[in-house]
Amino acid sequence: MVTERITFQSGHDTIVGCLYLPDRTEHRWPTVIVTGSWTTVKEQMPAVYAGRLAEAGFAALTFDSRHWGESGGDPRAYESPTSKIEDIQSAARYLQRHAAVDPDRIAGLAVCASAGYMAHAIAAGAPIRALVLVAAWLHDPVSVVPLYGGEAEVRRRIDAGRAARQRFEESGTIDYVRAYDPNDPYAAMFFPLDYYASPAAAERGPKRESGYRGHSGRAAPGRRLSRLERRSSRPSRSHPHRLHIPVWRIACHPNGGGSGRCMARASARIRRDPARRGTRTRPCRGRKGDGALCRNCGSPDRHRLLDCRRALYARVRA
């Protein structure tokens, strides 16, 4: 496995990334864009998945989104769904021009909050042909309201974010909130989460240069992020159903120790032929009544699930 430091433009800023390649041979590799959870950088969980993908024969790209890590963009530590979606689109377009990448075989592997960002990017036209969602956190208004304590609490957070944006635009002053603190009701995540807080879980992985521990890239409890763009309108759960590409969802074990198993399953999903066992005689249930079109392949007739998947893959590859 070899790595290559790369840069590309997204908006008015420079994105810094790392391209993992199986070897140095002149070859156009199937490539996977790997993105991690919010507040993380490319050296954390994306690096683990990218390395495993390279060992399995894929090229893989990790990168710092704008406002994070080595990439440009002010203010810093700014968790902006809009920017991250645009960065994924820019990354996919960059890969299409890279000499080591097969432009017709670009996939995405998104962990946690970036699952919604990746789905949005693909729905908006990013040239990504398959998507794997790992421990997906697909935020939308319906799920945000109960998660953050009701409509009044959601409105309070939105108002606080808008006020912070106004202060930044008028004076350049940046308000920050903690990314995670179970004792701070103003934190972005204020409820107990072993994923972020467990010292035992954090010791499972090597300490990285960024100062974080854990092979899954858990953020330290004191990590802060800008609240200039705190909204309830996060990427919608419905987006995967509007993607005309193969989409797989993988739920990791809650103890955080399953990234190796998840990686093996993800690489198998990306490689797997659409004509899988169990689909040869099973009828497709994509039609909602006589005369209706299949929501997967568009066929107006009854057909096997195998034929539906073959038609879908043929359309994706065309």
Verify that 223 and 239 share a domain, yes or no: yes
Pick from 271, 289, 308: which residue ends a domain? 271
Same domain, 173 and 302: no
- Specify whether 108 is located in the same domain as 183: yes
For 246-266, how does the pLDDT look when each residue is reduced to its tens digit (9 = 90+)?
887 886 544 444 445 555 555
pLDDT of residue 251: 67
| Same domain flag for 170 and 32 | yes
My answer on whether 238 and 296 are in the same domain is: no
Residues 303 and 282 in one domain: yes
Q: Are residues 109 and 28 in the same domain?
A: yes
Angle (CA) 244-90-249 rounded to 5° is: 40
Do 167 and 80 belong to one domain? yes
Q: What is the pLDDT of residue 52?
A: 94
User: Do residue 65 and residue 78 come from a single domain?
Assistant: yes
Residues of the chain with pLDDT under 70: 194-242, 251-282, 285-286, 288-291, 296, 306, 309-310, 312-318
Q: Tell me: do 183 and 118 sit in the same domain.
A: yes
Q: Which domain holds residue 28?
A: 2-271
Q: Which residues pair with 10 in a beta bridge?
A: 13
Q: What is the pLDDT of residue 271?
A: 53
- Tell me, yes or no, whether 90 and 233 share the same domain: yes
Report pLDDT digits (tens) over 18-45. Answer: 999 998 878 899 999 999 988 889 999 8
**Count of structural domains within the chain:** 2
CATH number, domain containing residue 158: 3.40.50.1820
Do 143 and 212 share a domain, yes or no? yes
Residue 71: which of 46, 44, 41 has the closest Cα? 41
Q: Say what the pLDDT of residue 231 is.
A: 42
